[in-house]
Amino acid sequence: MPLKKPKDIPKLPKTRKKNIEAAKKAIPAPKEDKTEYQCLAFFKFDSTLNKEFCCFRIQTIAEFTSFAYEVSLASQVDKNVIDIIILGLQAKINYLPHVSAAVTDVNFERLNGEYVVNVIKQDGSMNTAVFEFNYFKREIKLAKTFVPEKKNNRLFCEFLVSEKDFSFRE
């Protein structure tokens, strides 16, 4: 007995785009402060592209044992403001299990001067830091970190300058 042939193809709803402006305007649910992520700033030389970058590494505090993950991110630069939104975790292909944190790098070319860096979660929580980049002296200073005034905003990200990860052209 044959199955009925559908006359109309069912329509699937479109997925919502996760954009940075919507995440900035969202009001998070009330939660306690808990450091879940680290944002490390450093200079990085990419030998395959033969370019130097200012890199922000977003990594989880929690370490995963059985699976390897990377942090899914979106970013935008507007004048001296860098917005990085954390979209979630994404599984990586892992042939040999090992203990590691979820890590993703975001590269920007030749940042120089003072930049405000906003790390935003999808629920609307936002943490901010002010970095001073001096590309010519090859130094990065963390001027200040703060949690912007917003209803139910909480601390979830720690900002650091990682001098051990600095790499430059020979």
Domain assignment present for residue 4? The answer is: no
Q: In this structure, what token pair is assigned to residue 49?
A: 């592209």
pLDDT tens for the 170 residues of the chain, in order: 556 776 777 777 766 666 788 888 888 888 999 999 999 999 999 989 999 999 999 999 999 888 889 999 999 999 899 999 999 999 888 777 788 899 999 999 888 999 999 999 988 999 999 999 998 898 999 999 999 998 999 999 999 999 898 888 77
Q: Which helix (H) or strand (E) holds 61?
A: strand 51-64
In a domain, 33, yes or no: yes
User: Does residue 47 sit within a domain?
Assistant: yes
**Total number of domains in the chain:** 1
| DSSP reduced 3-state for 100 | strand
In a domain, 7, yes or no: no
> Is residue 130 assigned to a domain?
yes
Range of the domain at 155: 20-165
Write down the pTM of the prediction.
0.84
Number of separate helices (H) and strands (E) present in the chain:
1, 9
Please return the burial class of 39, using the count of CB atoms within 10 Å of its CB with bins 0-12, 13-18 and 19+. Answer: buried
